[in-house]
Structure 1
Amino acid sequence: MQKVILCLAACLLALPALAEGEMAHFAIGADVFRAGRSVEVDGAGSDDLFLAGEIVTVTGDITGSAHLAGREVRVEGAVGGDLYAAGDEVTQQGPVGGDATLFGRALSVSSIGGDLRIAGSDLQLTGPVAGYAMVAGEKVGFDAEVAGDVSLAAEQVIWGEAARIRGRLIVYEETPGDLDVPDRVAPDARIERREIEAWEGPTPPSWRRAIIGFLLGVVGIAALGALIAVLVPERLAEMRRQILDRPFHTLWLGFLTQSAVIGAGVLFALTLIGLLLTPAMILLALVGGFAGYLVAAYAFGVGLFLAFGRSEPLSIGARALSAGLGALAAGIIGLIPFLGWLFVLAMVLTGVGAITLRVIRPSFFVGDE
């Protein structure tokens, strides 16, 4: 469920760039904002960076902080302030003057002038850290000197020749004492071992948690679909027929509806007086998007059943099964890089369009029916 909501939020935020088919960008003062499929920015002369895309690359030095998200993120220039990055692969090569917070699968970190907070599956620490370090991973290559304390939770640690911890080393383990720490890294007097259950830092991603979360999301969608089918069976059936009979019609209307809601939030913000209404409009867009995904997942599941010669679902159990099948199939397709994201976005907008037709019934679309 959480993954679906995050995906919907990302889709809504990136909607203008996708609609234009090119990178969206603007700047306020020395701050730079970019979003697109492939984003490469020379940060020379910039203060703060806010970048999102499939591939994000930062070259040149910036004076402020960097906020980066993408499948592949590379920071080649120096960051004067803090670094915040999330992605499947994150590589930080240029020095960071402030703190660094990184989350993903494969992460590589060099010189950090402040504190380091990092969580991932495969971690490589190759440069000094001036503050403390909070590290969580499955496999950690530790070849850095840390001036402060280190909190470490890892299944495997490979200590490099440059590994030194000047403060305390707090190790979180399944069985305290399993992790071997060379005396040159930290003497026993400065090592504290705790149970892994006491870990309160960032948690690295794992296949087990990902699969469990995925299955729980499918079950949750199925349960909500069954609940809607109990409360408003006829309305749900009507929206499902709209989607299956006229998918592009509902997709276009959903695009217009979400654009209107998000655009209204921007216009409210421009008036300053209505700035307080902007969060409400964003919340409405997110709630509407999630409801649209529920309806579209149910319709998708029913469509799959009909394609295999099954009859329309009439019982609560059959409707729940349809919603679950739709959520499962959509979730698997959504795992495809980039194309899966577009498919989920199309499902969200199609569902929103069907809800709009059922609730508002805009006159310029009613006439087409």
Structure 2
Amino acid sequence: MMIVLIVLVALLGIATYCYMKRPQFGALPEGARLAVIQSSPHFKDGRFRNLVEMPVITKGYSMTGEIYKTLFRNFPDREPINPLPSIKTDLLAAPRDSDMIVWFGHSSFFLQLGGVRFLADPVFSGKASPLPGGVRAYKGTDIYTAADLPGIDYMLLSHDHYDHLDYETAVALKDKVKHVVCGLGAGAHYERWGYKPEQIIEKDWDQQLEIQPGFTLFTASAHHDSGRGFTRGQSLWLSFFLRAPHMSVYYSGDGGYDARFKKIFQQYGAPDWAIMECGQYNEAWRSVHELPEEVAKATEELHARNLLTVHHSKFTLAQHPWYEPLEKISIYSENKSYRLATPMIGETVRLNDHSQKFAQWWKNIQ
């Protein structure tokens, strides 16, 4: 029996090793890319680190306990039964001079600002995991494909987790994207998937990229992690601050609440729009994903004029009801200094139209 067990474990190990060699898992940095990473002040003891180290699991909780709850306890309404409402906007016909955001569900969105087209964390494959039987998109949420997008000037990657960096989508977009802007190390994934080195721009925190005169993209910190296999922290996680002559936009990426929002305001000024992660949170892992009340607090600390929340309404990656992020942020945003936008998936958000109204579309959906 012992021999049989050893053989089975060995076969499982070999099968796992072979499966992890599939292109969906990307690549680890090496050579010159690794040398650049190792020179970063944020790379210590073999991996990237957050500015302030905090345990991933909150005191009083445990990873095994949270996994057990997810697998064996029933949490009501974690995903909708019926399809979610959505709008199919013709992005190919969108005028270049229109400042707009179109959210695709979860953290994927198209941003057109000052005639420049950005695409953030696109996931159009309908899944948030490369594993068979993994997390799938809700009905009605996966209505866009790479073919629906115009040419993209800059594709922004906040970090390389599967629900933000999707292999199938990245490959499908390769010939439509002029440049990818990602954290140090993440370019290894794109090179493995056929992107040319000149397409890839890898950045550390507190760096900048001149888009055109008066238009700058700043890469800022976040409090999170990275990794697509068993090795963690080999690429850097980012947030982005876009400063155009007439408007500024901040995208938080993923990350728990800390003092960085005050610092970002002090360093870059108040954004006209804050696109903030709000979803797939839990008190147990609040160090890496903000709770809705923290999103509202952070938005005020940024002095943002408008808030659009992402990281919800497409995939179930936490225990809360699927609609809870929208419900809670609506409550916490009452009588605040900013305006909350709650578009449906695919609905055009007109960045200069302060009178645009948004429905509470998640109400009464089973």
TM class, shorter-length: under 0.3
Larger-gyration structure (1/2): 1
- If each structure's helix is expressed as a fraction of its own residues, which one has the higher value? 1
* Length-normalised TM-score, structure 1: 0.26
- Give TM-score, length-normalised by structure 2: 0.26
Higher share in strand: 1
**Which structure is richer in relative contact order (CA contacts within 8 A, separation 6 or more)?**
2
